């Protein structure tokens, strides 16, 4: 057998060996499963989402890394933390709502802040997506991308929307993870108060359980929109790792008391935001750097008045609904 024949034979065998190896699955391709496999995956998805409820010590680790704009100096890494009680406030089977309650202060004088909220919906037809400025609009999830997937919609402290994405819970390297599509989101308060050069993020969300809790990892590209209506430009990359470690060595009772007293009020607030979004094809509400929406502080104060017995839930709810109606009807808001 001459050298050329040997070379051709070796190449043929190598090609056949490669052909036998299955190609890697597309991360964002349609999911095809048997009915039994789909049901099993659905139940496992639910179990994983519900496992994010509980009491936690939380670490927030944020770091700008790679600058994409010439001359931009990334911010130094910032690490902070706190205690959060996460409660399941709705579970219909295909929709799970988790409310985060941040507990600050010392054991004797705790102060509870209604923190962010995450809504999970199975095989959603649409999501309430941030579209820039003060606007959130309903965006259809492509039909072929709905099967087997969950959307996650994140809401601000006053239950106004922040961002939404969709993705699949999957197991890779023995770890069960959920990863979103690329999602647009407004600036977080930590950035907005600095009046930075960038004005929004494009990010990917990841959630996964750990032996002691769970993590929320964000891969954010900080962007600046074009004033001429052209393509937005990247400024810097940011990595955010929020770590939730199960822990109840703080005043968990303060979170329970706060929620028991105010949950009816916040239910009315959520319903009003939902009503506005459905009626208007989305939500338009003015934002301010220090608080999120321009009505956030007033809505939070009303909840505190209920907790302190200075306002009835009915009276506070009426005022809150009026604030949302006015805020979403106002020109520019």
- Give the pLDDT confidence of 272-283 residue by residue, as tens digits: 999 999 999 999
pLDDT beyond 70 at 287: yes
The Cα–Cα gap between 199 and 208 comes to 28
Tell me the average pLDDT across 191-203: 95
pLDDT of residue 65: 97
pLDDT in tens, 144-179: 999 999 999 999 999 999 999 999 999 999 999 999
pLDDT beyond 80 at 12: no
Pure H helices in 156-312: 189-192, 252-280, 296-307
pLDDT beyond 90 at 108: no
- pTM for the model: 0.88
The Cα–Cα gap between 97 and 284 comes to 23
**Residues sharing a CB contact under 8 Å with residue 198, sequence separation 6 or more, in sequence order:** 187, 191, 222, 223, 224, 235, 236
pLDDT in tens, 69-103: 999 999 999 999 999 999 999 999 999 999 999 99
pLDDT in tens, 238-256: 999 999 999 999 999 999 9
Identify the CATH number of the domain defined by range 37-251. Answer: 2.40.128
In sequence order, the β-bridge partners of residue 233 are 224
* Listed residue (268, 259, 221) closest to 240, CA to CA: 221
Domain ranges of the chain: 37-251
């Amino acid at each position: 057998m001459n050298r050329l024949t040997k070379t051709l034979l070796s190449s043929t065998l190598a090609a056949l060996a490669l052909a036998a190896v299955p190609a890697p699955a597309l991360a964002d391709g349609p999911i095809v499963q048997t009915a039994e496999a789909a049901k099993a995956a659905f139940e496992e998805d639910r179990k994983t989402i519900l496992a994010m409820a509980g009491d936690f010590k939380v670490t927030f680790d944020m770091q700008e890394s790679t600058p994409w704009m010439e001359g931009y100096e990334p911010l130094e890494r910032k690490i902070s933390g706190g205690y959060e009680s996460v409660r399941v406030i709705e579970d219909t089977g295909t929709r799970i709502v988790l409310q985060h309650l941040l507990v600050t202060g010392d054991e004797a004088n705790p102060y509870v802040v209604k923190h962010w909220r995450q809504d999970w919906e199975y095989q959603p037809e649409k999501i309430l997506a941030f579209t820039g400025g003060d606007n959130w609009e309903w965006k259809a999830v492509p039909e072929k991308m709905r099967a087997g997937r969950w959307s996650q919609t994140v809401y601000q402290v006053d239950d106004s929307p922040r961002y939404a994405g969709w993705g699949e819970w999957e197991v890779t390297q023995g770890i069960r993870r959920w990863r979103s599509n690329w999602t647009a989101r407004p600036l977080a308060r930590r950035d907005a108060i600095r009046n930075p050069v960038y004005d929004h993020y494009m990010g990917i969300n990841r959630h996964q359980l750990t032996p002691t809790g769970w993590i929320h990892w964000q891969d954010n590209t900080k962007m600046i929109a074009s004033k001429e209506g052209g393509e937005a430009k990247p400024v810097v990359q940011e990595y955010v790792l929020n770590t939730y470690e199960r822990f109840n060595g703080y005043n968990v009772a303060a979170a329970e008391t706060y929620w028991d007293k105010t949950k009816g009020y916040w239910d009315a607030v959520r319903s009003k935001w939902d009503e506005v979004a459905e009626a208007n094809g989305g939500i338009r509400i003015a934002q301010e750097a220090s608080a999120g929406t321009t009505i956030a502080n007033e809505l939070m104060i009303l909840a505190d008045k209920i907790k302190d017995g200075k306002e009835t839930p009915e009276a506070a709810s009426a005022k809150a609904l009026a604030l949302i109606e006015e805020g979403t009807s106002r020109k520019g808001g």
